[in-house]
Chains A and B, each alone.
Chain A
Amino acid sequence: MEFMKPGAFKENANVAMADENLRSAMTMLNGGMIPNRQGAVDRLPEFEKLSQRGRELKDHVLAHLDFYLEKFERHCKASGGHVHWCSTPEDARQAVLKICRSVNAKSVTKGKSMIAEEIHLNAFLEQHDIKPVETDLGEYIIQLAEEPPSHIIGPAIHKTKDQVSDLFLKHHAKLGRTERQTEPQKMVNEAREILRRKYFEAEVGITGANYLIAETGSSIIVTNEGNGDLTQTLPKIHIVVTSLEKVVPTLEDATTFLRILARSATGQEFSAYTTISTGARREGDADGPEEYHVILLDNGRSAMLGGELQDMLRCIRCGACMNHCPVYQSVGGHTYGTVYVGPMGAVLSPALLGVSGTRHLPCASTLCGRCEQVCPVSIPLPRLLRQWRERSFEAGDVPVAERWGLSIWAFFAKRPWLYGPCARLAMRGLAYLGRKQGRMRKLWFAGGWTRGRDLPAPEGQTFQERWAREKRKEQRKKVSG
């Protein structure tokens, strides 16, 4: 698929909807992730209570974030680690570069990290002659395709098996792999064999973190492939790129989140590998990195505290909201044109990037509420989406036609004595227009709708009329009964 432009949701959606490959890749979601999650939730009777506790814990941590971050820093340092506080993506990139240069790094292996995506680390490292090698299979695929991730836990979810076959053939042929593989197992093997040596060659390994533990100064990664562990164990230096809100107080608290994360994300009871890392290798250890660095990124998060958007900082990046979003399922992640996609992305991106370039994102939702229902930490995503819509309206970011339309509607809506008769008139008029087929092919001012589909004709009565009629009927029944 042709890569999508940021800030152009509508145009991107048109491209995406016409993409057969994308459609066939996205239908897999309904068959896999959704029932898997439901199954895992059903098997654990305490799931709801754990979620509730997780939500409370996050709220507690956010209200005392300064305390827990200082605690984390103290314990990380005490176990030989280094903490780098970075306000901006540029600060974070420079911190990573400096560490890489301290060992003259030529190549860097990377486990999956959304923060690395957020700060566009790969392009930056390449500019400085350091080769980033993505080792998560999904990330590896999109690195070959030169695309951004389209899902926060399944970055290559938009690719069909055939597309991956082609991609591997194109890039692996020069490594002597000239046979086009079509079985997933063989493709996985091919990537495994090609990446194996890279783990041993890299001077630096970069991972993200699902959680930071204040009690011990540790970081946690939750993975399935084992690539994150090879990435952080074999090179000389392990860098963790992460953000402020990932900190939790204790091992016990992290445990509560671990019980809900994999179940919400992939529907597994537990991911294959949950790894807690604390400091560098110890005296006498035969392997492990010699240095351990944690890059703590703010990038707008501290400004989200204390207001309505604070709820968004509870997010544990499970991806359940996008898996269940009818809009995401139809248009895929690239349409959003941002690093974070789906409902959580539509709330977070305006906070990170500013509301003006992202105004279509909060509008790319039917507000059906499935995202909030499946969110393990009950983030009120529909409410936050609405809040962004209001803000962008207030900021004057809404086009004139839309603004006028809303003003006209508001004029009537605020005057029920006028709204009723006008609505009745309009409904009867539309019913007359569509009387032959029960639908309309074209309608003035509604081209945005009718270009793609017919508009069903109203039956001639407004909702309020029918409501009043049903009520009268009921009352008559009561009186006569």
Chain B
Amino acid sequence: MSAHAKTASGRENILGAIRRSLGRPALSTDAKRDLNEHITKHRANLVPARGKGEHGELVERFKEMAEAAACTVAVVDGETAVPGAVADYLRANNLPTQVTLAPDEWLSGLDWDGQSLLDTKSGAAGIDDLVSVTPAFAGVAETGTLVALSGAAHPTTLNFVPDYHVVALRASQVVGAYEEVWARLRKANKQGRGFTMPRNVNMITGPSRTADIALTIELGAHGPRSLHIVLIDDQAGED
């Protein structure tokens, strides 16, 4: 009880101090209505030109920007080619072949057993896991950024704990600007008049890096040393 009283007083102290400095009382209902409208309309501010364009162009820009951020990208014709592309990537780079898959219905439904090289399991990442394969919610062309949502189907640890992260992304998931991701997220997670956020929205642009030793950029600081994107050409440019 006393702890609660203390928190409440901290709160009132701070809000009171803010209002005193601003030289006004708490806002009127009318003023609040206007501000609430700003929040509920969540209008986009300025969207840079590079976040706009035809879908094909955006997919191309996504690829370019992701590569500029030190990702590698392999384009495949359809989703059935994903397990093979993952195996090819691991083999070509001499990487471990024990793979932790996100427990995602779509991803798990692909034919992983057909890849004799791969030894797959599914779940969150443990300290010894070296390679993860996950889906993503979207790809953003303006900076080559992947967006992943945490949830039962996509444990966050898969994005950060393993040394090598592979992401399977459908071209139809590529959008121009970040704002389009928020619109898709609000739609996908609609609840009542609002929407729910997952615990984490992870925007990922290239592998982990640091410049903390003498301003020299080194990859693989604490997160993945490499980020490989298998981009599925699913011919669904139109949204």
- Chain A interface residues (CB < 8 Å from chain B): 25, 28-29, 31-33, 44-46, 49-50, 53, 57, 63-71, 73, 79, 84-87, 91, 98, 135-138, 141, 154-157, 159-161, 164, 184-185, 187-189, 192, 195-197, 200, 214-216, 218, 224-227, 229-230, 233-234, 244, 249-253, 255-256, 258-259, 266, 268-282, 284-288, 296, 298, 302-307
Q: Are A255 and B223 in contact (CB under 8 A)?
A: no
Contact among A45, A157, A187 with B215 in the assembled complex (CB-CB below 8 Å): A157
B192 to chain A, nearest CB (A): 11
**B211 CB–A CB distance under 8 Å:** yes
Q: A288-B199, A296-B14 are in contact. Are A305 and B46 (CB under 8 A)?
A: no
Contact among A196, A277, A280, A286 with B123 in the assembled complex (CB-CB below 8 Å): A286
Q: Are A137 and B210 in contact (CB under 8 A)?
A: yes
Contact among B15, B127, B223 with A66 in the assembled complex (CB-CB below 8 Å): B15
Q: Are A224 and B156 in contact (CB under 8 A)?
A: no
A71–B38 Cα gap in the complex (Å)? 12
**B157 CB–A CB distance under 8 Å:** yes
A192–B218 Cα gap in the complex (Å)? 12
Contact among B123, B151, B205, B224 with A270 in the assembled complex (CB-CB below 8 Å): B205
A332–B22 Cα gap in the complex (Å)? 36
Q: Are A85 and B10 in contact (CB under 8 A)?
A: yes
Q: Are B182 and A286 in contact (CB under 8 A)?
A: no
Q: How many residues of B contact A (CB 8 A)?
A: 79
Q: Identify 4 new A-B residue pairs, CB closer than 8 A, beyond the known A227-B223, A287-B157.
A: A184-B213, A230-B222, A270-B69, A287-B124
Residues of B within 8 A of A224 (CB): 208-211, 221
Q: A66-B15, A84-B10, A280-B199 are in contact. Are A200 and B127 (CB under 8 A)?
A: yes
A272–B160 Cα gap in the complex (Å)? 11
Closest A-chain residue to B19, C-beta based? A66
**B11 CB–A CB distance under 8 Å:** yes
Residues of B within 8 A of A252 (CB): 42-45, 179, 182
Closest A-chain residue to B199, C-beta based? A288
**B27 CB–A CB distance under 8 Å:** yes
B20 to chain A, nearest CB (A): 8
Q: Are A84 and B156 in contact (CB under 8 A)?
A: no
A332–B43 Cα gap in the complex (Å)? 42
Q: Are A69 and B15 in contact (CB under 8 A)?
A: yes
Q: Are A225 and B14 in contact (CB under 8 A)?
A: no
Contact among A197, A216, A251 with B127 in the assembled complex (CB-CB below 8 Å): A197
Q: A66-B26, A189-B220, A285-B150 are in contact. Are A44 and B17 (CB under 8 A)?
A: no
B138 to chain A, nearest CB (A): 13
**B200 CB–A CB distance under 8 Å:** yes
Residues of A within 8 A of B220 (CB): 188-189, 192
The contact sample of 29 A-B pairs, CB cut-off 8 A, is A25-B214, A31-B215, A46-B46, A50-B48, A64-B27, A71-B39, A79-B196, A84-B7, A138-B210, A141-B213, A164-B214, A192-B221, A197-B127, A226-B221, A229-B223, A252-B182, A258-B178, A269-B69, A270-B203, A272-B205, A273-B202, A276-B201, A278-B201, A279-B199, A282-B199, A287-B150, A288-B155, A298-B14, A307-B21
3 nearest CB pairs, A to B: A226-B223, A225-B221, A138-B212
Q: Are A85 and B214 in contact (CB under 8 A)?
A: no
A344 to chain B, nearest CB (A): 20
Q: A279-B199, A307-B21 are in contact. Are A287 and B155 (CB under 8 A)?
A: yes
Residues of B within 8 A of A218 (CB): 197
Contact among B18, B46, B69 with A256 in the assembled complex (CB-CB below 8 Å): B46
Q: A66-B15, A281-B199 are in contact. Are A50 and B215 (CB under 8 A)?
A: no
